[in-house]
Amino acid sequence: MQEHRTLRFLFTTVAVLFLLSAQASTFQASDGQKLQALRKRLYTVTVDVTHAVNQSVEIGNYSVVNCLSLIHDQGQNVSTIAAGVSDLMVLSLLMKDSDDELQVLRALQTWLAVLTGSLPKARDIINRAMVQCSSSPSANAKGQALLNELSNWDDPIEQFSRTVNRAIPAKR
């Protein structure tokens, strides 16, 4: 499973780099690079939480394992949704036909809405896990690291959503 995520991440990174010279009407390669950078940082923080979960399992601290697992799951959920957004953004960059691009942008609009909605929910669950394990420095440090990373997502996702919404004609 981890290998699949790594391969997918590498594929998307290569696709974004390949598109550096491509001209898309809605997004630029720099938008894809920005999203890839966010995903990479989130991935790094989530892997760090995974290591903390494994360490807590090894020492038998199962109450902390539960909190760290909740924290980890939120990072993983956002990562999964962001992968869909990233794939659709790259696909929109590849579209030559404006009708095809519009179809991709409609799908991207849906995925961006899901990602936008998932961010506050993830923060809430992480905060509750940190309260539940307030005596655990590990759970609080990992939770705070993930909260800090997720705070970097709001502005770019809002910008991407505005870009998509401007590109999609209003329904009559």
pTM for this prediction: 0.81
User: Domain limits of the chain?
Assistant: 31-165
Q: Residue 95 has what pLDDT?
A: 86
Q: Residue 123 has what pLDDT?
A: 98
Average pLDDT of the segment spanning 150-164: 96
Q: Residue 150 has what pLDDT?
A: 97
Q: Residue 82 has what pLDDT?
A: 95
Q: Residue 66 has what pLDDT?
A: 95
Q: Residue 17 has what pLDDT?
A: 43
b (16+ CB within 10 A) / e for 9-30 = beebbebbeebeeeebebbbbe
Of residues 5 and 159, more confidently modeled: 159
Convert the pLDDT of each residue in 15-71 to its tens digit.
544 443 334 468 888 998 999 999 999 999 999 999 999 999 999 999 999 999 999
CA–CA dist 82, 50 (Å, integer): 19
Of residues 109 and 12, more confidently modeled: 109
Average pLDDT of the segment spanning 91-108: 90
Mean pLDDT across the chain, nearest whole number? 88
Q: Residue 11 has what pLDDT?
A: 56
Query: How distant, in Å, are the alpha carbons of 1, 8, 44, 139 from that of 5?
Result: 6, 5, 12, 24
Convert the pLDDT of each residue in 72-89 to its tens digit.
999 999 999 999 999 999
